[in-house]
Homo-oligomer: A and B are copies of this chain.
Amino acid sequence: MTQPLVLTLACADRPGITAQVTGFLFERGANILDAQQFNDRAANGGEDRFFMRVVFDPGSAAADDLRAGFAGLADSFGMEWKMAREDRPRRTLILVSKFDHCLVDLLYRYRTGELPIEIVGIVSNHPREAAIRVDIGAIPFHHIPVTPETKPQAEAAFRALADETDAELVVLARYMQVFSDEQSAHFAGRCINIHHSFLPGFKGAKPYHQAHARGVKIIGATAHFVTADLDEGPIIHQDVERITHADSPEDLVRKGRDIERRVLAEAVRLFAAERVLMNGNRTVVFRG
């Protein structure tokens, strides 16, 4: 079998999209291995939206020819679309500050081959000794300090790094600096943050302490796309755990680390497998 390709697309809903997309592939000798679709009929009072993910064996067809051919069909439907090799590891930059549990977890999964990513760099606003207490092997580390005064330059430096490294994905793995609106817009749709609460509960700082003070019986974590609107970006994945009155804020922080790392890793896995599509301020997530 040739290496499969994965096609993702989104457009206004119209009759015939599925048939035409699958027909296009069939005519060119491609064999569909997996296909999922979603018609969002509730899209904010506006028009219906259609989302699709198709994995296919291109057979003898060249990927570039398929892309060129599909462009015409895509234009006629006004699609946003992407056709990429399924097995291509997505080039990823990870940003951290001082908590390294999410980074350590991503590194472990990366090394076991569990995550279809290639980590092209680790960036911190703190020096390496302060930010990372584990072996990162040959992965380049970049210290980009951020102060209120130097924030624009720091963000420009990071954008330059993302360009140089051809980063397709930026992961904020408990990175404690807020992106400016400009930076958020620049990385729209390809920057994932982990927030240490079950959003929309407990936005802002110290969510575990907020959760303890409020006396909730379940805590959680949320992986979401970064947008200019802090803690309001489209949610990709969430998970929770039960707690009791006997859990101190420190217990919540400890339990939360487990939730955060598995929620972030799952969001990265889903994104890297082209399973996450933006739908306004929400997401469509095609699970296996």
Report the contact-size class of chain A (Cβ under 8 Å from the partner).
35 or more
Residues A238 and B215 in contact, CB atoms below 8 Å apart = no
For the complex, give the distance between the alpha carbons of A254 and B108 in Å.
12
Q: Is A104 an interface residue (CB 8 A)?
A: yes
Residues A215 and B281 in contact, CB atoms below 8 Å apart = yes
For the complex, give the distance between the alpha carbons of A247 and B213 in Å.
30
Beyond A217-B238, A283-B215, is A16–B34 a contact (Cβ under 8 Å)? no
Of A25-33, A63-71, A72-80, A183-191, the segment with at least 4 beta carbons within 8 Å of chain B is: A25-33
How many copies of this kind of chain does the complex include?
Answer: 4
Q: Is A37 an interface residue (CB 8 A)?
A: yes
Of A150-158, A172-180, A198-206, the segment with at least 4 beta carbons within 8 Å of chain B is: A198-206
Interface string of A80-116 (1 = CB under 8 A from B): 0000000000000000000001001000100110100
Beyond A201-B198, A281-B215, A284-B245, is A36–B39 a contact (Cβ under 8 Å)? no
Interface string of A1-36 (1 = CB under 8 A from B): 000000000000001111110110111000111111
Residues B201 and A215 in contact, CB atoms below 8 Å apart = no
Chain B residues in 8 Å Cβ range of A216: 199-200, 235, 238
Residues A42 and B249 in contact, CB atoms below 8 Å apart = yes
Chain B residues in 8 Å Cβ range of A165: none
Q: Looking at chain A's contact residues, is the secondary structure mostly helix, strand, loop, or mixed?
A: mixed
A285 in complex: contacting residue of B22, B114, B213, B245, CB < 8 Å: B245
Residues A200 and B202 in contact, CB atoms below 8 Å apart = yes
For the complex, give the distance between the alpha carbons of A231 and B96 in Å.
36
A282 in complex: contacting residue of B32, B245, B283, B284, CB < 8 Å: B245
Chain B residues in 8 Å Cβ range of A112: 101
Q: Is A126 an interface residue (CB 8 A)?
A: no
A111 to chain B, nearest CB (A): 7
A25 in complex: contacting residue of B19, B111, B202, CB < 8 Å: B19
Chain B residues in 8 Å Cβ range of A135: 134-135
- List chain A positions with a Cβ less than 8 A from chain B: 15-20, 22-23, 25-27, 31-42, 44, 59, 101, 104, 108, 111-112, 114, 133-135, 198-202, 212-218, 220, 234-240, 242, 244-249, 251, 254, 257-258, 262, 279, 281-285, 287-288
